[in-house]
Chains A and B, each alone.
Chain A
Amino acid sequence: MLSCGIDVGARTVKVVVLENGRIRGRAIRVAGLQVEDDVAAALKEAAAGEVRTIVATGSGREAVKEARQRPTGITCAARGIHFLLPEARMVIDVGAEEGRAIQCEGGRALNFAVNEKCAAGAGTFIETMSRTLEIAVDGFGPLALQSTKLVPMNAQCAVFAESEVVSLIHEKTPKQDIARAVCDAMAGRIGSMCRRLAITPPVALVGGVAKNTAFVRALENDLKTDLTIPPDAEYVSAIGAALIAAEEH
């Protein structure tokens, strides 16, 4: 019996299919204009058989018409991290348009803090700066790790930060130092958000930004704790949704 979790995020659609408590299939797709089509395509790619129950989460979860339930991303991330990393007591999830920190235990969210609706506190910030610096998003972290010099970044807004990055480029500041400043600034904001909760290790980091190694290091320094990035980190909420779907049977 297959149960399915769908996480419709701002940038991507993630689908996870579970069978008897194990991951049977998964798929990730860039969310285009017709999210319903992307959901259908991802579902087709992930599922090898008939899906019994679907549970949807994420900011675009209303687009999944056949969903039996639509729990919040907070609930699903807490559930999902318990599956991937049962010992985790806190999960930090930084997606394209939202950052959040959740204190959790046994798959339940105890407390959470969110940054939303401002690009400065989400993955979009780094993406925008990578475009200004003309660096591929994947190369951003490795480049920033080569930095040898701290340069200050004052702008707290992605639009103003673009201008600041442009003037740093004009001043011939090495790109790796600018990239590092971007990661540090972003980590500082996510770190402050996390401090609205007690920092309770072990702490897991998930979401697209977890792939940025320089950001991860900067956030570890800021929070003064190690971060664990579970395999399948971007699927955490979809896994949580699939687990909730499985309970429906």
Chain B
Amino acid sequence: MVIDTREHWRWPEVHWVNKELDWRAGGAITAGVDVGSISSKTAVMVDGKLYAYAILRTGASSPDSAVRATKKALEGTGLEIEKIHLTIGTGYGRINVPFAQKTLTEIACHARGANFVWGPTVRTVLDMGGQDCKAIQCDERGKVTSFLMNDKCAAGTGRGVEAFADLVKVPIEKIGEESFSIKEEPKPISNTCVIFAKSEALGLLRKGWDRNVVIASYLSAMAHRVYTLLERVGIAKDFVISGGIAKNPGVVRRLTTLTGIEPLAPNPQYDPQIVGAIGGALFAHAMLQKQKGAK
């Protein structure tokens, strides 16, 4: 018997340092620490330029995770947490960043970060994480003009896809591709609720439906759901997608059909998970400038 001991949920930790910058030569050093339910991220900036970042799995303690992610970001640079002039905490665990002087919501940080990563033409940001879904509209400065966040219901989150992947026994990273191995696009699953959608899907499988058609039907329902959320806040060009769902073409391509707007490609320079932390570091930089101006 072969026992599959692979852990599909384990993703590599990320650490990146900008070799072209020297923090010793710069003036303002700021950080954004984004403590999410799954991952903790720190972005460090020198004079408003991205200097280093790290992404780690969130542990049992949020303060510990915030410190670990920040130490990881600073690893090998000679820079220490104490030397950061201003730190902003964001994300689900934002109040648990021990060295942060201020906290901001992940909504504001995401919009600001997307403006930096993709440029000032970004108007709509969709972030679909493991346990939530955020739809944001922002202006050319990255200021939020409309937003919603859904973390009440698992439908339309990574957890919803996970639960479904488990039912059809397809690894989560393959489910998007599989959903296109079909002859004709089926109607979306009629239930939104993950629990009810699973029993609906099970019924279809028992009726003899092809597995990939059922997957397509489920992901199509997800795309419709996300579309209605985007519609509520308003959707305009340029449109960007961050979070785990960005890696699922089964949802992204169907969503593109519905919106008629092609999302901008991920910026290869930055990991899409770091957007919120970058936003935090940018807010910190702006605050520092304001304080200096006031003195």
Contact = CB atoms under 8 A, between A and B. Distances in A.
Interface of A: 33, 97, 117-119, 124, 128, 156-160, 163
Contacts of A118: 153, 192-193
B196 A159 contact: no
Given A159-B154, A160-B159, A117 B191 contact: yes
10 pairs of A and B residues whose beta carbons are closest in the complex = A159-B154, A119-B195, A159-B194, A158-B195, A157-B153, A156-B152, A157-B154, A119-B193, A118-B193, A33-B206
Interface string B181-198: 000000000011111100
Contacts of B207: 33
Interface string B240-268: 00000000000000000000000000000
5 contacts: A33-B206, A33-B207, A157-B154, A157-B194, A160-B131
Contact of B160 (A33, A97, A117, A159): A159
Nearest to A117: B193
B65 to A, nearest CB: 17
A199 B190 CA distance: 33
Nearest to B190: A117
Contacts of A157: 152-154, 194
B119 interface: no
Contact of B159 (A33, A119, A124, A159): A159
Interface in B147-204: 152-154, 159-160, 163, 191-196, 203
Contacts of B159: 159-160, 163
A97 B191 CA distance: 11
B154 A33 contact: no
Contacts of A158: 154, 193-195
B178 to A, nearest CB: 22
A115 B190 CA distance: 17
A158 B153 CA distance: 8
A214 B195 CA distance: 23
Contacts of B196: 97, 117, 119, 124
Interface string B117-142: 00000000000000100000000000
A33 B206 CA distance: 8
A124 B195 contact: yes
Contacts of B153: 118, 156-157
B150 to A, nearest CB: 10
Nearest to A119: B195
Nearest to B159: A159
Contacts of A97: 196
A128 B103 CA distance: 37
A157 B153 CA distance: 5
Nearest to B207: A33
A19 to B, nearest CB: 36
Q: Which of A119, A128, A156 has the most chain B CB atoms closer than 10 A to its own CB?
A: A119
A119 B154 CA distance: 11
B207 to A, nearest CB: 7
Contact of B163 (A33, A117, A124, A159): A159
A143 to B, nearest CB: 22
Given A117-B196, A158-B154, A159-B160, 12 more contacts: A117-B192, A117-B193, A118-B193, A119-B193, A124-B195, A128-B195, A156-B152, A156-B153, A157-B194, A158-B194, A159-B154, A159-B163
B93 to A, nearest CB: 15
